Structure 1
Amino acid sequence: MLTSRPLASATVLLLFTVDILAASADLNRGFSIPLVKRSPKQRDVSEQARIAKLQREAVIAKYANHDRRRSGQGVNLLVDQDYDSGYYGSLAIGTPPVSYNVLLDTGSADLWVAGSNCGTSCGSTPTFDPSASSTFKNQSQSFFEQYGQGAAQGYLGSDTVQMAGFSVDNQAFGIVGAISMNLVQTPVSGLLGLAWESISSSRSVPMWQTLASSGAWDQPIMSLQLTRYTNDTQANSLEPGGEFTMGYVNTSLYTGDIDWQSIAGEPSFWLQTMSFLTVQGSNISLGSNVNAAIDSGTTNIAGPSDAIKSIYSLIPNSQPASGEWQGYYSYPCDTKVNVEFNFGGQTWPMSSADFEYTRISSSQCIGALFEADSGGSGRPDWVVGDAFLKNVYSVFRFNPPAVGFAELSSTATLKNGIDAAPPSATIGSVSASATAGSIRTSGIASSLGLLSAVFVVVVASLC
């Protein structure tokens, strides 16, 4: 996961490196947890360049190593943070449950939050107090995460985790006691990984995968709709960020059919095959077997150097940037850049507003596509982040594993730049439960060991 806009939570890239006791699950539904978005304060160009440099380094480091009145459906209203630099939602941990804001990251697979022992390195970020939860278990294992711009460390624990009306008992997560500056900022306390168990460094089953594999959801899918405020000069630090659903798709937010494309290879990242790009009406061939990770935790879009160079060669008067902007390109701000991405034969346009990452002068802009040669064995060639995802309705399917895109409806696009207060976190009552089978304490745990489930009808509360 990566954030690139000024004042974003910089880059949150999680690769847990220790064994963890994977969770048995108790699945519950019936409440809605809204997500919150905040926009960045104005910063000078040198600060923007520093953040951009961290984003590029972090991508390289990370990938180098319908009826809502039914059971099994949940929705989180999102918050857009710092002019689209990151999108976060809320979940609740412990008994009694306490709400925390977490960045949603389809490019990683682990959950962590700042702990009450975090001290000054966590600043005023809300923290989790294990002693306040009667269901917390210390797994007695160390926790360490290295990021492109810093690190987080602590220990592993497990507890009841609730989100959007669902609950999982004994969910494993990291409790961070020390964290590098700018990794997360108030009111965000951590990160929720939404990728597959196979890339979980803690070797635990992600919460979403436990829910999807258990039959707790009406459909084994989750979806994202993200808002745009990057071109809104009147945006506040926190704005409505869109919607994250579990167990269904919101048909009011897209039009036409969902175009499903199978996961490239074994499930790990949400990988898609990308054959070519269209820039200013010209096709750029990317070669065969080129994979792109669909990553909601990354603000911009990273690609191989030769492909990025070809893209900007089609934009008149663009040139490689230097200094902390190394790997990025500048171009005239008065140029409307049209880029289209092709996944499995279907082409999806990207708004020129999203192509413009930031202005560095009255006439020159920095593009959102940057160089990061992170591809290789088991690693994606491209990392496609929010700059693209704001332009489509995105659906992630557990079985059979696939990513689906659909055209945004007018209902969805009208949410861009809307003058409204961001949603606040809520905790609802548990309306359904399930019991998980035992999971190994070492190695990669199986997410398919659920023994029984009891489902009831839930009315999802909507804001």
Structure 2
Amino acid sequence: LLRLPLIRNPYNIDILEAARRKHGRILNKRDDNTFTTQLYNDQGSQYLVQVGIGTPPQNFTVTLDTGSADLWVPSSHCPRIECPYGGFQEASSSTFQNGEESFGIQYGIGSVNGTYVKDTVTVAGASVPDQQFGLAETTEDILTTPTTVGGPGGDQTKPNNRTRVAANGILGLGYPQLTAATTQGEQAYNPFVFNLVEKKIIQDPVFSVYMNSADKDGWAGEIIFGGVDKSKFSGDLNYLPVAQLTTQQQPLGGLGGEEDDSAAQNRQGYYYWMVYGQGVSVQGGLQQSQDFDLQSTGAFILDTGTTLTYMPTKIAIQVATAVAGENGFQLDRQSGVFIVDCSVASSDIQVQLKMSQSSNPSSQPVILSVPTSELVIPLDGETPETSTACMFGIAPLGSSGGGLGSNMFLVGDSMLRSAYLVFDM
């Protein structure tokens, strides 16, 4: 089950570059079997968490990503130009176990390749010994951002994070079957968060994510393993089942982390944190209410590793038209996002995602409502009022669909920020 109450947070971001990407300092054990740590808001483009790897722990600040399942950090052998923030020193950890299985992921933008290894992994004070993860030996457009300087032949790279904290890897929180091992003919394994459950490090099999407002930069968010922080939301939690993919699955028995057969069988068919979607509604404006329903129930992938929300092109255009007017937006072909007039932020329009409690449409869907003011993102100023250019927090998937089906949506930070998310494993 996925549990999400619907709350409202103000929204602000100033990085167009982040639209290209798919993708804490204070530790506190709240009580028995519950662990919490802060998330770093990188100007609304991504959320970072601190991970300790090895004995003694070597600290890495990595992107929190519910849209992938692998933890990876740079290897000490990764070239500096590709891994500019340093790598894991294998020889310095007394619990490090080398591996022979290859590791590789192709993201929406960028890729990473290396080797699977094992070591003790600690997040928020919760430690998993012998945790499998990836050591990156090469990366492309993940830890660095390509930029052209001085015309042809002037390609250079620069760090992808201009703030004082940089992403130096990714912590994937998806299901075991989503790990890169399964795409390479290898056996699925338990990601860190699932090992917290299997090894009984947490009693309640949930993790909760609070992003805070986009304009709250720095260590302003929070993730809890094994519990919920009721002070971070108002109202009741709404429950939604996790949707299964309908492709043929391989058995998950014998996963790393000593997962029993019943648990493995129960997770077959689960890849993403994905819920059943019915469509999108735009409330307010000249026509008051416009519904853009799917012909059949689709799926919304809830992905904290994606900055914007991506919808099938037709629906994305319909939503942008309903919000900004027929001539009120244009597609920036280089980044693939909609540019809108910044004045749209002052409207009272709400964009709503409609989600069903089953694979059939519901007469009473769960609604995630996001004010347009949170979806108009300033590009050259602190707020829409002080900016001359703004982008829309909803973008089209494009002709390729990003590898997703025509009824699948990628719901990123631009909309997830308006909810307190509880993921039930």
Q: What TM-score does the superposition give when structure 1 sets the normalisation length?
A: 0.67
1:115 and 1:166 mapped to 2: Cα distance? 23
Paired residues of 1:280 and 1:314 also in contact (CA < 8 A): no
Paired residues of 1:334 and 1:363 also in contact (CA < 8 A): no
Match of 1:88 among 23, 43, 48: 48
Which residue of structure 2 aligns with residue 459 of structure 1? none
Counterpart residue identity of residue 369, structure 1: I
1:347 and 1:227 mapped to 2: Cα distance? 19
Shift of 1:380: 6.9
Which residue of structure 1 aligns with residue 315 of structure 2? 307
2:62 and 2:70 mapped to 1: Cα distance? 12
Match of 1:103 among 57, 63, 79: 63
- 5 Å-filtered alignment, 1:154-165, equals 154-165=114-125
Gaps of 5+ in 2: 1-11, 24-28, 145-159, 182-187, 245-268, 357-364, 382-386
Which residue of structure 1 aligns with residue 376 of structure 2? 356
Structure 1 residues 69 and 323: CA distance shift in structure 2, 3 A? closer
Tell me the C-alpha RMSD between the 2 structures. Answer: 2.7
Q: Deviation per CA, 1:103-133, whole angstroms, max 9, x where unpaired?
A: 1100000010011111222454132111101
Paired residues of 2:35 and 2:124 also in contact (CA < 8 A): yes
Paired residues of 2:111 and 2:142 also in contact (CA < 8 A): no
Match of 1:367 among 392, 396, 404: 392
Shift of 1:343: 1.8
1:146 and 1:268 mapped to 2: Cα distance? 16
Structure 1 residues 364 and 226: CA distance shift in structure 2, 3 A? same
Which residue of structure 2 aligns with residue 392 of structure 1? 419
Which residue of structure 2 aligns with residue 217 of structure 1? 202
Shift of 1:79: 0.7
1:334 and 1:312 mapped to 2: Cα distance? 14
Which residue of structure 1 aligns with residue 180 of structure 2? 201
Question: Higher relative contact order by CA 8 Å / sep ≥ 6: 1 or 2?
Answer: 1
Secondary structure of the residue aligned to 1:119 is: coil
- 5 Å-filtered alignment, 1:8-407, equals 48=16, 51-52=18-19, 54-55=20-21, 58=22, 70-81=31-42, 83-183=43-143, 185=160, 187-202=166-181, 203-230=188-215, 239-265=218-244, 266-281=269-284, 282=289, 283-315=291-323, 316=325, 317-326=327-336, 328-335=337-344, 336=347, 337-344=349-356, 345-359=365-379, 363-372=388-397, 374=401, 381-398=408-425
Secondary structure of the residue aligned to 2:281 is: strand
Alignment: residue pair count: 336
Paired residues of 1:140 and 1:155 also in contact (CA < 8 A): yes
Secondary structure of the residue aligned to 2:190 is: coil
Secondary structure of the residue aligned to 1:252 is: helix
Shift of 1:164: 1.8
Q: Deviation per CA, 1:50-69, whole angstroms, max 9, x where unpaired?
A: 553x33xx58xxxxxxxx76
Paired residues of 1:88 and 1:103 also in contact (CA < 8 A): yes
Structure 1 residues 270 and 178: CA distance shift in structure 2, 3 A? same
2:62 and 2:297 mapped to 1: Cα distance? 33
Q: Percent identity?
A: 27
Gaps of 5+ in 1: 1-38, 60-67, 399-463
Shift of 1:369: 0.6
1:302 and 1:276 mapped to 2: Cα distance? 13
2:62 and 2:403 mapped to 1: Cα distance? 30
1:143 and 1:113 mapped to 2: Cα distance? 12
1:51 and 1:385 mapped to 2: Cα distance? 12
Counterpart residue identity of residue 369, structure 2: P
